[in-house]
């Protein structure tokens, strides 16, 4: 995937301080229905200490501060100076991220993790308690699915993308329920491998876990 580089020049929101990232923090934009380009423009023009490293929508990944440079994504200076920060665009007030945007976010996070050796993925909420990204604060089970998908070591080629594809819209609720209750678990790399056939051993194991729920 292509990364568009449009680096912020203003020192007020680009501290120009090098960092060695240890993890990634995910955010969602505060203005539903806007594009990555529109939000990048906002960060370029704002006159206050707010910024991130990347803005992602269903078509583009825009880098506005290099990933080895500090941003002002949270109110916590410790995390700002140690974590790469990514804003996710979304279509409406629910904050739900589209599958197309998630594909880019997962690819970007995996690429950054491989490059810098960082394996910690947080929500803005985990750092400051702010309800951001809103959908993944309100839906803890889906956050765990997304986090496992990001941390999977599967390569990003078509075959592996099929193995670790996101749940289809019609299956999303059921998959989230199964993950939340421990019935469906990731492999040794955290991948759910939702598009793969189930062996008899796996089917029996899931039935056994369901029988022992609660």
For residues 126 and 160, state if they share a domain: no
For residues 172 and 114, state if they share a domain: no
Per-residue tens of pLDDT for the chain, all 214 residues: 899 999 998 889 899 999 999 999 999 998 999 999 999 999 999 999 999 999 999 999 999 999 999 999 999 999 999 999 999 999 999 999 999 999 999 999 999 999 998 889 999 999 999 999 999 999 999 999 999 999 886 444 445 545 556 677 788 788 878 887 888 887 655 667 787 888 888 888 888 888 888 6
For residues 170 and 126, state if they share a domain: no
- Residue where a domain terminates, one of 89, 108, 138: 138
Contact between 19 and 57 (Cβ < 8 Å): no
- Residue where a domain terminates, one of 75, 106, 138: 138
For residues 75 and 165, state if they share a domain: no
For residues 122 and 22, state if they share a domain: yes
DSSP-assigned states of every residue in the chain: ---EE-----TTT----B----EEEEEE-SSTT--HHHHHHHHHH--SS---SEEE-SS-EEESS-TTB----SS-HHHHTTEEEEEE--SSTT-PPPHHHHHHHHHHHHHHHHHH---EEEEHHHHH----SHHHHH-HHHHHHHHHHHH----SSHHHHHHTPPPPTTTHHHHHHHHHTTSS---TTS---TTSPPPHHHHHHHHHHHHT--
For residues 62 and 118, state if they share a domain: yes
Contact between 27 and 39 (Cβ < 8 Å): no
Query: Domain total for the chain?
Result: 2
Instruction: Please indicate, yes or no, if residue 143 is contained in any of the structural domains.
Output: no
Instruction: Please indicate, yes or no, if residue 199 is contained in any of the structural domains.
Output: yes
207: containing domain: 152-214
For residues 54 and 102, state if they share a domain: yes
Instruction: Please indicate, yes or no, if residue 144 is contained in any of the structural domains.
Output: no
- Residue where a domain terminates, one of 138, 164, 186: 138
Instruction: Please indicate, yes or no, if residue 69 is contained in any of the structural domains.
Output: yes
């Amino acid at each position: 995937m292509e990364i568009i580089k449009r680096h912020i020049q203003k020192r007020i929101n680009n501290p120009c301080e090098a960092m060695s990232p240890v993890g990634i923090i995910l955010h969602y934009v505060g203005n539903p229905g806007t594009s990555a380009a529109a939000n990048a423009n906002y960060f370029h023009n704002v006159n206050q200490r707010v910024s991130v490293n990347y803005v992602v929508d269903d078509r583009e990944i825009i880098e506005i501060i290099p990933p080895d440079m500090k941003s002002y994504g949270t109110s916590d200076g410790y995390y700002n100076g140690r974590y790469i920060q990514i804003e996710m665009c979304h279509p409406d007030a629910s904050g739900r991220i589209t599958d197309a945007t998630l594909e880019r976010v997962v690819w970007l996070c995996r690429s950054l993790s491989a490059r810098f050796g960082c394996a910690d993925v947080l929500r803005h909420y985990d750092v400051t308690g702010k309800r951001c990204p809103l959908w993944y604060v309100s839906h803890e089970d889906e956050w765990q699915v997304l986090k496992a998908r990001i941390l999977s070591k599967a390569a990003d080629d078509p075959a592996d993308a099929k193995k670790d594809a996101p749940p289809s819209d019609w299956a999303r609720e059921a998959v989230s329920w199964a993950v939340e209750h421990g019935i469906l678990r990731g492999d040794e790399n955290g991948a759910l491998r939702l598009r793969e056939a189930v062996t008899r051993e796996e089917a029996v194991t899931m039935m056994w876990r369901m029988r022992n729920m609660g």
